């Protein structure tokens, strides 16, 4: 694909700053590899509420549906945190995921050799970690029926999954495991939750009937939370539901040392994917020019690989990030008291290192 249309959703907080870095990376890739990326920005999150009253306007959804890929910064912040508000910025993110049919959230957790000592865990535990999480994205408790008593003293949220929803995410994760190290770990809470018992029985059947060549295990979510800190190198591809995946991947983000290093991709059966860093909007540092753009830059690499069929270009971006980190350059979140560079400086360093081959 020599010509691609990319929709940018900067959002709130540091979102516009890291999306600007992604735009510069796309420009560098286009220049080095002879591609033309057409980008256009649209509203989502708190800024969309301020300007339109809707956290995800219909114009944003329409633009995203026509795009080849979508890059998102971050949404939310204290300005929109009133619990009595009619809507919240995060509703915009859930809405666009649903409208685009994005049911699989891919979150790679990889430790960079130059940053092994930045992790709060021992070097021997984290050195060599390479986990790919598949989090189911459009089912479970985040999308289940919510109830609230008239006096607001009792509330509930339903965790609901169908066999079809479980099958499709497990198949996608298992196919990825075939291309990696051949091991799939499914995480549930089958000893307590009926919905997890359906998850386990469905996953067991799919793996037995369709993927007998893979090494397969099931782990309870509470045990998995411990294993991620004690033996993370034992895991290859991990598949789990929406709630568990959300929590476990944030925990796993500490393995490489910072949320600022972790990208994610949200994919469906077809159409554009949505690519974003897993960190939030960081309103406390917004506008200061010190945000770490590397997660968003790596999310851009995922977009090149998964939506634009440009694996060489994706590898070039990832290699550029690795070279910059190997050079000793650090943003504030990685510096641990040492000198650090601003967003613009590290972005420029990455774009300089992007080359074919």
The active-site residue out of 213, 222, 269, 284 is 222
Assess whether 189 carries a catalytic annotation. Answer: yes
Cβ partners under 8 Å of residue 83, min gap 6: none
Strands of the chain (E only): list them. 3-11, 36-41, 69-74, 104-110, 130-136, 146-148, 155-157, 183-188, 215-220, 237-240, 263-267, 273-277
Catalytic status, residue 142: yes
- Quick one: 284 exposed, middle or buried, by C-beta within 10 A (0-12, 13-18, 19+)? exposed
233 flagged as catalytic: no
Is the Cβ–Cβ distance between 324 and 353 less than 8 Å?
yes
**Contact call for residues 157 and 146 (beta carbons, < 8 A):** yes
For tokens 């996953």, what's the residue? 203
In whole angstroms, give the CA distance from residue 45 to residue 54.
Answer: 8
- Give me the catalytic one of 68, 134, 189, 236: 189
DSSP states of 244-295: HHHHHHHHHTTTTT-GGG-EEEEE-SSS-EEEEESS---TTTTTSS----HH
86: annotated active-site residue = no
- Alpha-carbon span 217 to 228, nearest angstrom: 15
Instruction: Choose the catalytic residue: 12, 236, 246, 333.
Output: 246
50 catalytically annotated: no
Catalytic residue among 12, 68, 134, 142: 142
Active site residues: 142, 189, 222, 246, 250
């Amino acid at each position: 694909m020599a010509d691609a249309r990319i929709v940018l959703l900067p959002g709130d907080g540091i979102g516009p700053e890291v999306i600007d870095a992604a735009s510069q990376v796309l420009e560098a890739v286009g220049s080095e590899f002879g591609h033309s990326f057409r980008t256009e920005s649209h509203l989502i999150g708190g800024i969309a509420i301020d300007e339109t009253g809707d956290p995800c306007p219909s114009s944003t959804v329409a633009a995203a549906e026509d795009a080849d890929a979508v890059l998102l910064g971050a949404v939310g912040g204290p300005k929109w945190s009133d619990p009595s508000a009619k809507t919240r910025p995060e509703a915009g993110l859930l809405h666009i995921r649903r409208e685009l049919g994005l049911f699989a959230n891919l979150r790679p957790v990889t430790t960079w050799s130059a940053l092994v000592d930045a992790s709060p865990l021992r070097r021997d535990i984290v050195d060599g970690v390479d986990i790919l999480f598949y989090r189911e994205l459009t089912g479970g408790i985040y999308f289940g029926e919510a109830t609230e008593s008239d006096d607001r003293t009792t509330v509930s949220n339903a965790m609901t999954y169908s066999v079809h929803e479980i099958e499709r995410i497990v198949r996608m994760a298992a196919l990825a495991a075939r291309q990696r190290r051949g091991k799939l770990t499914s995480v549930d809470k089958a000893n307590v939750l009926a919905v997890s018992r359906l998850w386990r029985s469905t996953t067991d059947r799919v793996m037995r009937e369709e993927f007998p060549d893979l090494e397969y295990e099931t782990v309870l979510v509470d045990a998995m939370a411990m294993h991620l800190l004690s033996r993370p190198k034992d895991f290859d591809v991990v598949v789990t539901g929406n709630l568990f995946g959300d929590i476990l991947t944030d925990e796993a983000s500490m393995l490489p040392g910072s949320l600022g290093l972790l990208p994610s991709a949200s994919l469906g059966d077809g159409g554009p994917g949505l690519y974003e860093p897993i960190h939030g909007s960081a309103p406390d540092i917004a506008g200061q020019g010190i945000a770490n753009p590397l997660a968003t830059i790596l999310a851009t690499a995922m977009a090149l690989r998964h939506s634009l069929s440009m694996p060489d270009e994706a590898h070039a971006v990832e290699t550029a990030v690795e070279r910059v980190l190997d050079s000793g350059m650090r943003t504030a979140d990685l510096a641990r008291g040492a000198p650090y560079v601003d967003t613009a400086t590290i972005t420029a360093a990455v774009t300089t290192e992007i080359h074919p081959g």
